[in-house]
Amino acid sequence: MKTLWSNIYDWVDERVELGGLVEYMGKKYVPVNRHSIWYYFGGVSLFLFIIQVVTGILLLLYYKSGEQLAFESIQFIMSKVQFGWLIRSIHSWTANLFILTAMIHMFSVFFAKAYRKPREVTWFTGMLMFFLLLGFGFSGYLLPWNELAFFATKVGTDIAGAVPVVGKPMMVFLRGGEDVTGATLSRFFGFHVAVLPGIFTVLLSIHLLLVQRQGMSELISHEQIPPAERKTMPFFPNFLLRDLLFWLVVLNLLAILAVFFPWELGKKADAFASAPSGIKPEWYFLFMFQTLKYIPGKILFFDGEVLGILLFGLGGLLWLMVPFWDRKSSRGETNRFINYIGIFVVFYILVLTIVGWIL
Amino acid sequence: MKKTARMLAGMMILLFCALGQAFTEDKCLTCHETVGGKAVDLFKQDIHHAKGVSCAGCHGGNAQSDDMEKAMDKKAGFIGVPKGDEISRACAKCHGNAEQMKKLGSALPTTQYANLQMSVHGKLATNGKEHIVQCITCHNAHGVVSVKNPSSPVYPLNIVKTCTKCHADAAFMRTYNPSLPVDQLDKYRTSVHGTRNAKGDFKVAQCASCHGSHNILSAKDTKSSVYPGNIPSTCAHCHSNADYMKEYKIPTDQFDKFSKSVHGVALLQKHDNGAPACNSCHGNHAATPPGIESVSKVCGSCHALNADLFSASPHKKAFDDRKLPECETCHGNHEIIVATNKLLGVTSEAVCSRCHNESLNVKGFAAAKSMRGLIDSLETQEHRAIALIDEAEQKGMEISEAKYKLRDAHQARLESRTMVHSFNEAHFREVAAKGLVVSATVSQEATQALDEYVFRRVGLGLATLVITVLAASLYVFIRRLERRQALGGK
Amino acid sequence: MKSEFTPTGQPDSDRRDFLKYILGGGLLAWLAAVLYPVMAYLKPPKQGEVEVTSVKAGKASAIEKDSGVIVRFGSKPVILVRNAAGEFRAFSATCTHLDCTVQYRKDMGLIWCACHNGRYDLNGRNVAGPPPRPLDEYRVVVQGDEISISKKV
């Protein structure tokens, strides 16, 4: 076995000169402290992305886009295709877990202020990927063309349409028309399997390249310890093997979820039926949806809903731009204020998601 | 002293008599008698006259006065010859007043006019001025006698003539309701009720018995006694009264039986007006419904498919030869219960065994046995398939397609029940076979789904085992690696 | 993915070999456990394709005048009738008597139920036999040559 591997290595090395690369990668290390656990979440997100791509491609082989066949093709996959139930449920569960781990990854980066110089672009690509991720979730949700998805899309695109000036054309663009129809389904399918993956892959490549080039960011507190006394472990092979172990457990978790909590299909969408009562979006949109519910109809002379949407937009923008307005972290100083903001946001999202779920 | 007392008493009596005479003497009658006229002659036989009611009782005015002007004075309440609704109002002055009637010593009800006004007859006549019918239309004006009096137009034997005065007049009825038939009397005379009534039996049903007398409502009105849902109880009025029906020597349990039957439950409990009431099979006025030869052949007018199959079957000739009614023989007449599988076959509960057994009518015996066997297995197979589908559904497996196929099994079972009436085993088997095949297919698909359910869990267990082994060994490998790194230094 | 960076040192060779076997074997088993479902998934199932269900009921030109066809609408059957004039009507094909599936009878010019001879006219109204209620009507829209059936009128 060893000789086979070394033979392959030598063959490639003769053509591409791996030596320098291998040496460089060998120098990459990961800080070891009580916060090291958070370092895993980037990798798990990557793993889940790979799962999505693989299961997504497999689903593509049997899914039929278009009003009359979308629902039935999912039914077909769930009942007639061998292990179709497994692939589909894993794809749906992974989507949710992916968004969860991405959020954890984002928040841990935020609290560690790893977005500070020199990693601003890493942060931007990461945040953009996160927004794309929400787009993945929203577009993919419609593809089974079931009742819940139909109405969720209706409500969601309605909210998008409420943005002043650009809202209406944006809504028509998203829907492929004035209403949610088969045209919407076609568009969302195109977004979900071509447009978003394309852009996402580009961003991901930049993101990973930067992480490899710049190495793992260290906590500001960690940086203040003299280099000789900092505890670290090599990325290759130690951290990587640990990563793989974690990924293995996550894979098992997905299999268990797929078997015991198969993803539902529900009823086929019917444009002429009335919306089922208590309709609400998927959990990752819930906190925004719930917030909009609580905003009064009119604030001064502004429409409450529009104000809410704009506020969220503004919040998102500020969040995105944090490397620029958090000057202290760039200088290497602890910034408690960022921590407070972060804690507030986490709590807000948690509480409103729970409230939205229960009510 | 005694002599004076007796004289006084005698004078008092005379005085009272005179006074009494003055009070009770009907001066109108006295005068008009001299004039003459039918009204006067009739009135002399009138029950009102006998009870002491004067002409003024209806016409108003002063019956005590000799003077024509005073007697017929409007201020005294004289209304002359009443026209239109004035007539009925005049009757209702007493007949609608309970206290008044009690004072006159009558126990008659007092709701007649109120009822009439709410009835069909209380509607506006074509002249737009009055009710269609007034009291006198049926009761006469001056010769009114008790309903128990054989010369009364509303005596049971005479009612028919009274009603048909209008209701058999096509030209007249056309102005009110062209769709109402006018041949009820002819039809009625063909029925048992009609023939007995003609012979003088005043106990049998005539027009008023079913339709009511004052509160006659259209058959479409839910309050009418001849509204489909109410007809059974209307008939039961007499036909369930054992005492009343004693001399006729026919059973009086039809209503009870009917209420328990499929038709009774449908009509009386589920209010399905498509279900038959008594008249649907026995006829409205005639002896049987139009176009039906006899009540034993009436079932086919709704249950056409079964009747057709039966007519083409060997039972038709067999039943006709033995003068057995076609459907009633097996299904009963009033107490028709839901036909279950038990009705078919060769067990003691089955009707077939009444004529067919191992030594008698053997071909039919075999057919009955076989058909019962088939339909029983059809039912069991269908239930089995349903149970399996339910189980698979409960377990969250996707089997909507198989479930949809179940409809065909249900259909086959119903079709074969109808096909029984052909009494042809080959035809029956053909229909039942379809259901058996479908049930088998569905059961198989459901079982596959259940097997898949188990397979998934077993598969998961194995996969978890593999992953655990791999993860554990990976973990050990990592520890060992790091130990060596620590020892060797980096 | 498996690390090629074997470090220096003199560990216990027996334990090392045993672990390597378990690790290698575990890895192979894991690969099999992942690849088996994927391979099975890629194999086309017996029923090659998804069946068209109801909502789009096929081509208008495929249905003759004065004929009827049963179409599946989710879990319920719907009867699509084309009358002699060429107009389309659609009704629930579940008989309101005892749930049998009705059919179009060209010889009778109406919708008929084989179980107990129930009859419905081309407006779905129950006109003869035991059915107590009319058939629910469905909406038919013909766009171009495509027939689309949707829930009740």
Q: What is the pLDDT of residues B106-150, one digit of tens each?
A: 888 999 999 999 999 999 888 888 899 999 999 988 889 988 999
Q: Report the first-to-last Cα separation within chain B, whole angstroms.
A: 164
In chain B, the percentage of residues whose pLDDT exceeds 90 is 47
| Chain B touched by A245 (CB under 8 Å) | yes
Are residues B459 and B368 part of one domain?
yes
Are residues C132 and C88 part of one domain?
yes
| Residue C61 lies in domain | 56-150
What are the b/e assignments for A70-107, b being 16+ CB within 10 Å? bbbbbbbbbbbbbbbbbbbbbbbbbbbbbbbbbbbbbb
Which amino acid appears at position B308 of this protein? D
Is residue B174 included in any domain, yes or no?
Answer: yes
Dihedral angle, C-alpha B183, B184, B188, B189, nearest 10 °: -30
Rounded Cα distance between C126 and C120, Å, is 4
Dihedral sign for Cα A72, A78, A83, A89, please: positive
Question: pLDDT tens string for chain A (359 positions)?
Answer: 678 888 988 898 889 888 888 888 778 888 887 788 899 999 999 999 999 999 999 999 999 998 888 998 998 999 889 999 999 999 999 999 999 999 999 999 999 999 988 999 999 999 999 999 999 999 999 999 999 899 999 989 988 888 888 899 999 999 999 989 889 999 999 999 999 999 999 999 999 999 988 888 888 877 777 877 778 888 888 888 999 999 999 999 999 999 999 898 888 888 777 777 778 888 999 999 899 888 888 878 778 888 888 899 999 999 999 999 988 888 888 888 999 999 999 999 999 999 988 88
Is A87 in a helix, a strand, or coil?
helix
Are residues B366 and B472 part of one domain?
yes
Are residues C127 and C105 part of one domain?
yes
- Residues in C closer than 8 angstroms to A271, CB to CB, are 150
Nearest CA in chain A to B446: A79
Is residue C50 included in any domain, yes or no?
Answer: no
Are residues B345 and B484 part of one domain?
yes
Rounded Cα distance between B342 and B347, Å, is 8
Q: Which CATH architecture has domain A39-216+237-358?
A: Up-down Bundle (1.20)
| Chain A touched by B489 (CB under 8 Å) | no
Q: How far is C38 from chain A (nearest CA, A)?
A: 8
Are residues B449 and B345 part of one domain?
yes
- Does residue C75 have a pLDDT over 80? no
Look up residue B284 and give its DSSP letter.
S
Domain count of the fold of chain B: 3
| Chain C touched by B434 (CB under 8 Å) | no
What pLDDT is stored for residue B1 in this prediction? 61
How does residue B370 score in pLDDT terms, banded at 50, 70 and 90? very high
| Residue B427 lies in domain | 341-488
What pLDDT is stored for residue C1 in this prediction? 43
- pLDDT tens-digit map of A275-288: 777 788 889 999 99
- On the 0-12 / 13-18 / 19+ scale of CB atoms within 10 A, B391 is middle
Q: Of the spans A101-115, B89-103, C3-17, C123-137, which averages the highest pLDDT?
A: A101-115
- CB of B239 within 8 A of CB of B210? no
Q: How many CB pairs under 8 A join A and B?
A: 50
Between helix A336-358 and helix A283-294 the angle, nearest 10°, is 90
Q: How many CB pairs under 8 A join B and C?
A: 79
Assembly ipTM: 0.81
Are residues C146 and C95 part of one domain?
yes
Is residue C49 included in any domain, yes or no?
Answer: no
Residue in A23, A245, A257 to test binding to B, most B beta-carbons within 10 Å: A245
- Does residue B393 have a pLDDT over 80? yes
| Chain C touched by B393 (CB under 8 Å) | no
What pLDDT is stored for residue B12 in this prediction? 67
Contact C74 A267 (CB under 8 A): yes
Nearest CA in chain C to B488: C9
What are the b/e assignments for B320-357, b being 16+ CB within 10 Å? eeeeebbbbbbbebbbbeeeebebbbbeeebbbeebbe
How many beta carbons lie within 10 A of that of residue B390, not counting itself? 13
| Chain C touched by B477 (CB under 8 Å) | yes
- CB of B456 within 8 A of CB of A259? yes
Is residue B104 included in any domain, yes or no?
Answer: no
What pLDDT is stored for residue B14 in this prediction? 58
Are residues C136 and C63 part of one domain?
yes
- Residues in A closer than 8 angstroms to B399, CB to CB, are 79
| C45, C74, C150 ranked by CB distance to A81: nearest | C45
Between helix A84-112 and helix A240-260 the angle, nearest 10°, is 130
How does residue C5 score in pLDDT terms, banded at 50, 70 and 90? very low
Chain-wide mean pLDDT for chain C?
Answer: 82
Are residues C142 and C89 part of one domain?
yes
| Chain A touched by B488 (CB under 8 Å) | no
For tokens 């209010």, name the residue: B271
- CB of C92 within 8 A of CB of C78? yes
Rounded Cα distance between A148 and A179, Å, is 16
- Residues in A closer than 8 angstroms to B479, CB to CB, are none
Between helix C13-42 and helix B425-488 the angle, nearest 10°, is 150
- CB of A79 within 8 A of CB of B401? yes
What pLDDT is stored for residue B438 in this prediction? 94
Q: How far is C139 from chain B (nearest CA, A)?
A: 22
Kindly state the average pLDDT of the residues B31-53: 86
What pLDDT is stored for residue C7 in this prediction? 53
Is residue B428 included in any domain, yes or no?
Answer: yes
Contact C3 A75 (CB under 8 A): no
How does residue B34 score in pLDDT terms, banded at 50, 70 and 90? confident
Rounded Cα distance between B256 and B233, Å, is 10
- Residues in A closer than 8 angstroms to B459, CB to CB, are 259
Q: Of the spans A10-19, A217-226, B162-171, B270-279, which averages the highest pLDDT?
A: B162-171
Q: Nearest CA to B382 among B446, B440, B447? A: B440
- Does residue C3 have a pLDDT over 50? no
How does residue B489 score in pLDDT terms, banded at 50, 70 and 90? low
In chain B, the percentage of residues whose pLDDT exceeds 70 is 96
Following DSSP, what letter does each residue of B351-367 receive, concatenated?
A: GGGGT--SSSSHHHHHH
Rounded Cα distance between B212 and B237, Å, is 12
Rounded Cα distance between B368 and B453, Å, is 42
Are residues B345 and B292 part of one domain?
no
Nearest CA in chain A to B397: A79
Kindly state the average pLDDT of the residues B150-176: 92
Domain ranges of chain A: 39-216+237-358
Which amino acid appears at position B409 of this protein? A
Are residues C113 and C72 part of one domain?
yes
- CB of B260 within 8 A of CB of B268? no
Rounded Cα distance between A203 and A223, Å, is 28
| Chain C touched by B19 (CB under 8 Å) | no
Q: What's the distance, CA C127 to chain centroid? A: 32
Contact A79 B463 (CB under 8 A): no
Q: Nearest CA to A132 among A67, A44, A194, A83? A: A194
| A78, A86, A259 ranked by CB distance to B457: nearest | A259
Q: Label residue C83 left, alpha or beta by phi (over 0 means left) and psi (-120 to 50 means alpha).
A: beta
Look up residue B426 and give its DSSP letter.
H
Instruction: Report the helix count and the strand count for chain B, using DSSP H and E.
Output: 25, 0
For tokens 């890629």, name the residue: C42
| Chain A touched by B475 (CB under 8 Å) | yes
Is residue C130 included in any domain, yes or no?
Answer: yes
What pLDDT is stored for residue C2 in this prediction? 45
Are residues C30 and C67 part of one domain?
no
